[in-house]
Amino acid sequence: MIEELKTFISVVEYKNFTKAAEAINLSQPSVSLHIKHLEEYFNATLIQRSIKQKNIHITESGNLLYERSKQIIKLLEDTKDDLLDYGNIVKGRLRIGASFTIGEYFLPHFLGQFTKAYPDLELEIAIENTHNICEKVKNFQVDLALVEGTVPSSNFVTNNFYKDKMVVAVPYNHYLVSRKFSVEELGNQTWISREIGSGTREYLELFLSTNNINAKNVIVFGSNYSVKEAVKNNLGITFISSLVTETALINKELSILKTPQQYIRPFSYILQKGITPSKGAIVFIDMLKNYKKSPCD
């Protein structure tokens, strides 16, 4: 039954029997037989096929089984990982998702300490923007995720673990450095932004709207590094995590503008609701809660 469920998941995700067969290294007749067994077992039509089977449609029953199958497979994998824990040695695999700022500027240092404490735990890291990482948690592609930005709380268990300071970064020796905070001056600037779906983009838009700043122009980049380099090379200014600017400030590549108030956003870890975390996830979260890197502590 487990192999049939894995086959079914593959067919749904590839929406094609041939591609699914290639992905899981089975013959197409074997894939068809697995689906037939499931339909007979559940007494339900899971997949509707065209006459030549070139196109398939997943029924409502099929979609329900798809979601439950992913939960079943994850529970089995977590159970297997937990059973490997002999003598309090944490083994197995932990899949971690992280949004870009966290994945690029926070996670490496933290993992350096975590892997020393748990050297037998295999880690898989996925780094994408906040929206995409939340989707990975929802679809059981990662066990937990670390994100910035707003998370739909109805879908996840969410807890804050870090206070991130956001700053207005400008090129080094920019004329605004010596001036008081001015909405008019900032509105006349080109702003460098991350893409829609990014937590950093969300906080830039919030900063601009709460200060009634109408940006003259916005240039979008797909990574924090690109944003930093764009500002460094006088393409514009930005509102970004202080983690991104630390080295650039030391190297006199960027400057930070004084603002009337501090802007702090939380980093959060999120888990799928209704799922019991594996032991690897539990020790990861425990260490994360006690981690003391934040400049705002």
Sequence ranges of the domains in the chain: 2-76, 83-162+267-289, 163-265
**What does the pLDDT read at residue 225?**
93
- The per-residue pLDDT for 50 is 73
The reported pLDDT for the residue numbered 296 is 39
Q: Residue 54 has what pLDDT?
A: 67
Residue 114 class from Cβ within 10 Å (0-12 exposed, 13-18 middle, 19+ buried)?
buried
pLDDT at residue number 293? 59
Does residue 227 contact residue 240 with C-beta atoms inside 8 Å?
yes
CATH number of 2-76: 1.10.10.10
Query: What is 163-265's CATH topology?
Result: D-Maltodextrin-Binding Protein; domain 2 (3.40.190)
Q: What is the identity of the amino acid at 15?
A: K
Reported as a single tens digit per residue, the pLDDT across 247-271 is 999 999 999 999 999 999 999 999 9
> 21: Cβ–Cβ under 8 A, 6 or more apart, which residues?
27, 28, 30, 31
**What confidence score (pLDDT) does residue 88 get?**
58
State how far the Cα of 287 lies from the Cα of 265, in Å rounded to an integer: 21
Q: Count how many Cα atoms sit within 13 Å of the Cα of residue 52 in the half-sphere of its side chain.
A: 1
Residue 27, C-beta contacts closer than 8 angstroms, at least 6 positions apart: 21
What pLDDT does 38 receive?
87
Confidence (pLDDT) at 192: 96
Instruction: Spell out the residues 6+ positions from residue 24 whose beta carbon is closer than 8 angstroms to its own.
Output: 6, 7, 10, 31
Fold identical between 2-76 and 163-265? no
Record the tokens describing residue 21, joined without a space: 């067969």
Residue 295's pLDDT is 42
Neighbouring C-beta atoms of residue 3, cutoff 10 Å = 12
Per-residue pLDDT of the chain (297 residues; tens, 9 = 90+): 888 888 888 888 888 888 888 888 888 888 888 888 888 888 888 888 876 656 788 889 888 998 998 888 888 887 777 776 655 577 789 999 999 999 999 999 999 999 999 998 999 999 998 889 999 998 889 999 999 877 777 778 999 999 999 999 999 999 999 999 999 999 999 999 999 888 899 999 999 999 999 888 999 999 999 999 999 999 999 999 999 999 999 999 999 999 999 999 999 999 988 888 888 899 999 999 888 654 433
- What does the alpha-carbon distance between residue 1 and residue 38 come to, in Å, rounded to a whole number? 8
Report the run of H or E that residue 4 belongs to, with start and end: helix 2-14
pTM over 0.85: no
Superfamily grouping for domain 83-162+267-289:
Periplasmic binding protein-like II (3.40.190.10)
Q: Which residue has the tokens 């603002």?
A: 259
